């Protein structure tokens, strides 16, 4: 259960968001003709760059920056160069609401964005949608599974699907006594309900369900309770410091128990903190994590990875994002928006938004393209395009969600992440509530 402080913050933020929406009425009504732009067009990465989920922001920016590079290298969009800006939500709705309002009010030539994350989506999506700004959210909350927001898109499966994938993998591995150990932040908690129900439906038992207050110096009480419940697998997502402290104390008091985590648990900060706390060898022997399935190969991925690795001056250690499915789809989102601008013949979001589904629509006779340059050339030649990007094909449903399979990956002592299993979208759908 989310703590009362987090809940009160969320309620306050939602209320503030409602007031901001009312204040925006009239000023953000689309005009009958496209807006005229001069100068560089801006895409925002709207995510936590500080706070417990601080790794989310750099992961997102690592997608926007190489996308902007490929667009600019091809000559830009309708005569404009493009750029990326980072907007820090701090992973807290109370901070994200004013950050969203400031971003919308003050960012010059803001034409699209990646984000928000699960931490702040409930509070900020209405504000962003009212501003007629296309957003490609990495929010996994089930509340957006049937979104009615015109400017909301999602390229990755929701958190509750990740929870089901974790449950299926663990059950198939022979685990029957599960322990849920998740942080009390909104992003982490989004995985829990369907994880619990799916594991029980499969025939497993949840022997303990712990919600951790983040960044405490000790979790000895919680670890002692977990050990007494005798689980044979731990399901987790918490920030790096929390899971490192918890698992280190588990190792000291009992010895390690196999861990199945979410995609944030394979991000570099988490791996560094936890492997430092329990040892690389121990982690490699006891760890798996679910993330959206991506082949990380093919012509679109090669364009993405080349641009990413060439962006080292703006993206620290760019190779760490080469096979990150969220970074890949953040890249794809920028390319899709730019191609939609070409189709609409304007960067005005109120006009190009309707073309976003069309550039990935796979219409009969469409020309498959794998980069902004290929798409630009095909559109100039009068062709209908189907962009298949670094994250793979996109198939939007009526709610502008595109979901798919999950893969379970491990951690090897050499730092690589071997694939352990793939859980199909159809198997996940059978167990989602």
Q: Which long-range contacts (CB under 8 A, 24 or more apart) does 245-249 make?
A: 245/216, 245/217, 245/218, 245/219, 245/277, 246/181, 246/212, 246/219, 246/222, 247/274, 247/277, 247/278, 248/277, 248/278, 249/218, 249/219, 249/220, 249/223
Measure the CA–CA gap between 100 and 120, rounded to whole angstroms.
10
Over 60: is that where the pLDDT of 334 sits? Answer: yes
pLDDT value, residue 157: 85
Mean pLDDT of the chain: 92
Residues 6+ away with beta carbon under 8 Å from 35: 346, 348, 350
* For residues 390-408, average pLDDT: 91
Q: pLDDT tens digits, residue range 374-385?
A: 999 999 999 999
* For residues 219-243, average pLDDT: 97
* For residues 305-324, average pLDDT: 96
Model confidence band, residue 299 (pLDDT cutoffs 50, 70, 90): very high
- The fold of 4-157+299-357 is Rossmann fold (3.40.50)
- The fold of 160-291+413-431 is Rossmann fold (3.40.50)
Model confidence band, residue 29 (pLDDT cutoffs 50, 70, 90): low
Measure the CA–CA gap between 361 and 54, rounded to whole angstroms.
34
Measure the CA–CA gap between 300 and 312, rounded to whole angstroms.
20
Q: Which helix (H) or strand (E) holds 173?
A: none
Model confidence band, residue 425 (pLDDT cutoffs 50, 70, 90): confident
Q: pLDDT tens digits, residue range 56-107?
A: 999 999 999 999 999 999 999 999 999 999 999 999 999 999 999 999 999 9
Model confidence band, residue 11 (pLDDT cutoffs 50, 70, 90): very low
pLDDT value, residue 433: 65
pLDDT value, residue 51: 93
Dihedral sign, Cα of residue 12, residue 135, residue 268, residue 224: positive
Domains 4-157+299-357 and 160-291+413-431 alike in fold: yes
Find the range with the poorest average confidence among 25-34, 51-60, 180-189, 411-420: 25-34
Over 50: is that where the pLDDT of 16 sits? Answer: no
Provide the residue ranges of all domains of the chain, joining segments of one domain with +.
4-157+299-357, 160-291+413-431
Percent of the chain past pLDDT 90, that is, above it, reads 83
């Amino acid at each position: 259960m989310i703590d009362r402080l987090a809940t009160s913050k969320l309620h306050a933020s939602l209320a503030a968001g409602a007031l901001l929406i009312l204040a925006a009425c009239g000023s953000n009504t689309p005009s009958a003709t496209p807006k005229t732009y001069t100068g560089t067009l801006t895409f925002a990465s709207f995510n936590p760059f500080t706070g417990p989920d601080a790794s989310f922001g750099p992961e997102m920016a690592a997608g926007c920056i190489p996308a902007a590079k490929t667009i600019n290298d091809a000559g830009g969009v309708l005569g404009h160069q493009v750029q990326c800006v980072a907007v820090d939500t701090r992973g807290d709705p109370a901070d994200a609401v004013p950050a969203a309002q400031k971003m919308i009010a003050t960012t010059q030539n803001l034409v699209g964005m990646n984000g928000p994350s699960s931490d702040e989506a409930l509070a900020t999506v209405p504000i962003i949608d009212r501003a007629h700004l296309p957003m490609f959210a990495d929010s996994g909350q089930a509340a957006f599974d049937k979104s009615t927001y015109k400017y909301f898109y999602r390229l990755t499966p929701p958190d509750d699907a990740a929870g089901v994938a974790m449950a299926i993998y663990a059950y198939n591995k022979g685990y029957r006594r599960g322990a849920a150990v998740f942080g009390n932040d909104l992003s982490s908690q989004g995985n829990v309900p369907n994880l619990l129900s799916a594991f029980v439906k499969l025939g497993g038992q949840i022997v303990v369900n712990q919600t951790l207050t983040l960044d405490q110096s000790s979790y000895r009480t919680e670890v002692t309770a977990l050990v007494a419940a005798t689980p044979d697998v731990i399901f987790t997502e918490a920030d790096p410091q929390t899971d490192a402290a918890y698992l280190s104390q588990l190792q000291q008091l009992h010895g390690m128990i196999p861990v199945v985590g979410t995609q944030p648990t394979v991000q570099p900060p988490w791996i560094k903190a936890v492997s430092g706390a329990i040892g690389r060898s121990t982690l490699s022997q006891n760890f798996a994590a679910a993330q959206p399935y991506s082949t990380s190969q093919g012509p679109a991925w090669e364009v993405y990875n080349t641009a990413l690795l060439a962006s080292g001056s703006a993206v620290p250690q760019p190779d760490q994002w080469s096979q990150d499915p969220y970074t890949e789809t953040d890249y794809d989102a920028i390319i899709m928006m730019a191609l939609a601008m070409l189709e609409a013949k304007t960067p005005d979001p109120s006009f190009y938004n309707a073309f976003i589904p069309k550039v990935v629509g796979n219409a009969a006779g469409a020309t498959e393209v794998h980069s902004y340059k290929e798409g630009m050339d095909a559109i100039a030649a009068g062709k209908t395009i189907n962009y298949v990007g670094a994250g793979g094909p996109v198939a939007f449903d009526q709610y502008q969600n595109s979901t798919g399979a999950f893969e379970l990956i491990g951690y090897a002592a050499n730092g690589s992440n071997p694939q352990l299993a793939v859980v199909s979208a159809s198997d996940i759908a059978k167990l989602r509530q």
